[in-house]
């Protein structure tokens, strides 16, 4: 059985969706203001406890978001915890900010599989080959849409060759 590290070395594409530093910096005044609002009028150990709870909650939230990984390896796209065999895909299109915004909003299909982060404006559109599928497409946010789309295409072609051979 392959370990996570072995799989990462075999991957043709791997990206960790880290939260930008600006979000961490923005968390400081948010915690300060919210903590001040909550503990107003208290004294003793309560204010430090309230700030500690806010720090742990916000840091946990940002760390969890930043732990998400996109990986193309072994004929499979892994986006977070979801997996998509690449032989089930047809069209793969890298999207710029405007195109991705349309598919996140007004032109979105409610049945689509979305792996988005608000700090990532670009994405890759992956249409599934089976027209009868409950999920018509995947939309995966990324910092490098062209590279991810290329890796998916390469993985799809090699998965197709393995299925034929």
In a domain, 2, yes or no: no
Question: What is the number of domains present in the chain?
Answer: 2
Could you tell me the pLDDT band of residue 17, with boundaries at 50, 70 and 90? very high
Contacts of 94 (CB under 8 A, 6+ apart): 122, 124, 145, 146, 148, 149
Question: Is residue 80 in some structural domain?
Answer: no
- Shared-domain flag, residues 160 and 93: yes
Indicate if 91 and 62 belong to the same structural domain: no
On whether both 103 and 149 belong to a single domain, the answer is yes
Domain limits for position 107: 86-164
Q: Is residue 147 part of a domain?
A: yes
More confident residue, 6 or 15: 15
| pTM recorded for the entire structure | 0.81
Instruction: Name, in order, each residue with C-beta under 8 angstroms of 109's C-beta and a sequence gap of 6 or more.
Output: 136, 137
**pLDDT category, 160, cuts 50, 70, 90?**
low
Contacts of 76 (CB under 8 A, 6+ apart): 83, 84, 85, 86, 155
- The residue among 2, 5, 60 whose CA lies nearest residue 27 is 60
Q: How confident is the model at residue 42 (pLDDT cuts 50, 70, 90)?
A: confident
**pLDDT given at position 8:** 46
Cα(164)–Cα(135) distance, rounded to whole angstroms? Answer: 25
Strands (E), the chain: 13-16, 69-73, 76-79, 82-85, 89-95, 113-115, 123-128, 137-141
Specify whether the CB–CB gap between 16 and 67 falls below 8 A.
yes
Domain annotation covers residue 153: yes
Percentage of the chain beyond pLDDT 90 is 70
Q: What is the pLDDT of residue 35?
A: 87
Q: Check pLDDT > 80 for residue 58.
A: yes
Give me the chain's average pLDDT, please: 88
Asked if residue 129 is part of any domain, the answer here is: yes
Lowest mean pLDDT among 19-23, 40-44, 86-90, 140-144: 40-44
More confidently predicted of 23 and 36: 23
């Amino acid at each position: 059985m392959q370990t996570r590290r072995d799989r990462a070395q075999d991957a043709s594409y791997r990206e960790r969706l880290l939260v930008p530093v600006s979000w961490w910096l923005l968390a400081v005044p948010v915690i300060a203001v919210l903590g001040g609002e909550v503990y107003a009028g208290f004294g003793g150990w309560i204010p430090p406890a309230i700030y500690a709870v806010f720090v742990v909650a916000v840091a946990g939230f940002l760390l969890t978001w930043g732990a998400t990984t996109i990986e193309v390896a072994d004929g499979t796209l892994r986006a977070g915890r979801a997996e998509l065999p690449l032989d089930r895909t047809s069209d793969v299109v890298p999207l710029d900010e405007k195109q991705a915004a349309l598919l996140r909003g007004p032109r979105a299909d409610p049945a689509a599989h979305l792996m988005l982060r608000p700090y990532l404006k670009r994405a890759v559109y992956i249409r599934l080959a089976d027209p009868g599928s409950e999920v018509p497409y995947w939309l995966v946010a990324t910092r490098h849409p062209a590279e991810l789309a290329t890796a998916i295409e390469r993985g799809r072609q090699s998965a197709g060759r393995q299925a034929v051979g």
